[in-house]
Amino acid sequence: MSLELLAPAGDLEKLKVGVMYGADAVYLGGENFGLRARAGNFTLEEIKEGVEFAHLRNAKVYVVLNSFLFDNEIQKLPEFVTYLEQMGVDAVIVSDMGVFQTVKSSCNIDIHVSTQASCLNESTVSLWKSLGAKRVILGREVSITEAKKIRQNCGIEVEMFSHGSLCMAYSGHCVISNYTGGRDSNRGGCAHSCRFEYSLDFKNNQKQSKKSFFMSSKDLNGIELVDQFEDASIDSLKIEGRMKTALYLATVVKSYRAAIDSLKTAEGPAPSPQELDHELRSFSHRDYTAGGLSGEFGSESVYDREHGLCGDYMIIGSIKNASAQSGLVLEVRNGLKLGDKIEIMTFKGKNIEIELDQMFDFADVPIESINPNQLLKIPYIEEVNTHNIVRKMGRLS
């Protein structure tokens, strides 16, 4: 058994990026029933295309149905999950007992129980197993030591979050948005009130009044614990972030792929932990914590700041076409000019750094600079492939 690397797929492009950079599986949301109302979300045709793309590369596709549904939505579910099964979706991720029961009675697709369902202990996991769940996604409060015990004693697949944003509350147990913003956080409308600054007036003069981002959590980073996940027989490592950028996705998936692969093969020199850590700090992020993975969340897990930390790199775009005849076509998201140094993130191994000495527009006319949202042609480089992400040292102004 090997540790599965599970990546978020916010849209079809990101699905392809995740798979190409080494994800063993991806999770995505359809247009309904998921927890990210603002994400790109997949149409049925896109799910079909995503499944075909992933399966061709031995990657699995899981579809999230993790919203807490009302009765009228439950009625629409059987048709949707039957279609998912027919398309070859490998599993659905659910958090609601009603969704679980409905999926179970509609088709034979595997069911993974979401972290939203408070999967925190052996007894809960045993319960879901007895109902027919294939896998549980443990709450982010569960340590690897606890997860090991759960895995051993329950005999069911166990998935754990390893990277990305953290809820400060037990998942599913925060309804601030519901009451203050009129948006149901457990149905995809979380307004991220926990990231707001609050002034705190302590009772009985326990402490002077203070302004603080006291409910904002640092981001999870478990890359240094990959060997412990493996030792605990954890089945799948999940990267959070269907709403995040392709640069985040490519960097995190590539780093974790390298870390996981370094456990089992001596194929070539593996990146050092320092190199991987540096990579994970190369894009905009909140400060990191290992969170509950190695024990209880301490007070150091609070991110008492408004903005994330800027990384060293910004995204330039992605390679849309790579052929010896036409060269490389890059969809540019941040402007470039001749002489700029860019870095093409290969799917595996060292990235390719180049200085732009020739640039052409999409009609093959030489240019000296290019603005965002345009197509750029540059000369072909053999190791570069479609879906490679391109980045550049520097920060957005």
Partner 1 sequence: MRYNCPISSLQNETELSGDFFDEFLLESSDLSRVGSLCVEEMCGVARGLNQLGKRVVLVWDLLMTQSVFEKKQLIFEAIDLTLFDAVRVSDPGAYHYLNTKFPNTAVQLVLDNGNHNLAGILGWEKLSGNLERLVLSSQLPFNIITQYCINLSTDVEIQIFGKIPLFYSPRKLLNSHLEQASGSALLEAVGTSEESPHKGFTILENEHGTFMYHPKELSLMDRIEKLNVSKIKWGRFDLRHPHQVSSVGVLEELVSNFSASAYREFRESYSHQLIRGFFEVNKTDAQFKNLVNRKVQRKDENYLGEIAEVKKERYLGIDIKKCEGTLRLGQKVLIKTPDGKELLTSFKKCFDVDGVEIQTITKPGLYRFNFIPKTSKKSQIYLYSGE
Residues numbered 32 to 91 that lie near partner 1 (CB under 8 A) are 37-38, 41, 43-46, 49, 68-71, 73-74
**Which residues pair with residue 60 across a beta bridge?**
25
Residue 2 is a binding residue for partner 1 (CB under 8 A): no
Nearer CB in complex with partner 1: 68/248:
68
Alpha carbon separation from 232 to 22, 51, 156, 223, 227 (Å, rounded): 22, 30, 13, 15, 9
3-state secondary structure of 204: helix
Spatial distance between the Cα atoms of 117 and 97, rounded to a whole number of angstroms: 9
Site string (133-162) toward partner 1, x via CB under 8 A? ------x-xxx--x--xx------------
From the list 53-61, 81-89, 258-266, 297-305, the region that binds partner 1 by CB under 8 A is: 297-305
Residue 390 is a binding residue for partner 1 (CB under 8 A): no
Nearer CB in complex with partner 1: 133/259:
133
DSSP 107: -
Cβ neighbours around 220 below 10 Å, total: 24
Cβ at position 297, least distance to partner 1 in Å: 5
Cβ at position 76, least distance to partner 1 in Å: 12
Cβ at position 75, least distance to partner 1 in Å: 9
Applying CB under 8 A, the site for partner 1 has a residue count of 101
Torsional class of 33: left (φ above 0), alpha (ψ -120 to 50), beta (otherwise): left
Query: Is the separation of the CB atoms in 294 and 144 below 8 Å?
Result: yes
Nearer CB in complex with partner 1: 169/338:
169
Query: Is the separation of the CB atoms in 258 and 273 below 8 Å?
Result: no
Residue 367 is a binding residue for partner 1 (CB under 8 A): no
From the list 187-195, 244-252, 267-275, 339-347, the region that binds partner 1 by CB under 8 A is: 187-195
- Which of 33, 100, 248, 256 contacts partner 1 by CB under 8 A? 100
Query: Is the separation of the CB atoms in 389 and 315 below 8 Å?
Result: yes
- Which of 86, 180, 272, 369 contacts partner 1 by CB under 8 A? 180
Nearer CB in complex with partner 1: 188/241:
188
Residues 6+ apart with CB under 8 A from 278: none
Query: Is the separation of the CB atoms in 43 and 77 below 8 Å?
Result: no
Residue 270 is a binding residue for partner 1 (CB under 8 A): no
Q: Which residue is associated with the tokens 């910004």?
A: 314
- Which of 263, 320, 340, 346 contacts partner 1 by CB under 8 A? 320
Q: Which residue is associated with the tokens 């700029």?
A: 340
Residue 287 is a binding residue for partner 1 (CB under 8 A): no
3-state secondary structure of 34: coil
From the list 17-25, 279-287, 359-367, 387-395, the region that binds partner 1 by CB under 8 A is: 359-367
Nearer CB in complex with partner 1: 267/296:
296
Question: What residue type is assigned to position 157 of the chain?
Answer: E
**Which residues pair with residue 323 across a beta bridge?**
327
